Amino acid sequence: MFSPRRHLSTALLVTVSFAATVACTPGSGAIRLAARSGTVVDQESRAGIAEADVFQVYWGRGVAGEPRPAYALRWTTTDARGAFAFDEELSSEPRSWVLETDEAEYGFFHPDYGLTRRGRGDADAPLVLEGTRLDEARRRAEELNLCGSRPADEVLAALSRMRCSRRPR
């Protein structure tokens, strides 16, 4: 005998099972993190900046009035010539597997230059991230902003964990 209630329960169970299988399967719709290389340079002298922390972040859509979530964020460090490279890989962050994201954004941090966010750049050209050396007052202000306040987004939160010995509670 046909029972609408049982039929609805079965349909709901099948739908939830399918959605859970698709959402929880590793690699299902995972963000492919782009391979990118480039250099970090001083804007005035064009010399490479060694030991700069370079980031690649894929932002989620987010909610109006709230910080956008970072669905994939990774870091690398420049060599003595200011060169860096990210290899292509799949995001290991589970929340990125089924969510829509923007293209990667790039930037870097160096204590003498502060935090620089560049944007996306041309995917076919080597990425050049430029920074301007900070004077002492700006450098202290940048450090206070990074280490003495609540980070405004996930890039700053990760950077403060990497660079700040003490965080306020």
Angle at 107 between CA 88 and CA 76, to 5 degrees: 50
Q: What would the 3-class secondary structure string for 93-156 be?
A: CHHHCCCCEEEEEEEEEECCCEEEEEECCCCCCCEEEEECCCCHHHHHHHHHHHHCCCCCCHHH
**What mean pLDDT is reported for the chain?**
78
What is the per-residue pLDDT for 150?
77
Contacts 24+ apart (CB under 8 A), 157-163: 158/55, 158/73, 158/75, 159/53, 159/55, 159/109, 159/115, 162/53, 162/75, 163/53, 163/109, 163/111
What is the per-residue pLDDT for 96?
53
**Domain range summary for the chain, segments of one domain joined by +:** 1-29, 32-163
147 versus 102: the higher-pLDDT residue is: 147
CATH fold label, 32-163: Immunoglobulin-like (2.60.40)
Residue type, 105: E
The answer, as to whether pTM is greater than 0.75, is no
Q: Distance between CA atoms of 99 and 6, rounded to whole angstroms? A: 32
Residue 144's pLDDT band (boundaries 50, 70, 90)? confident
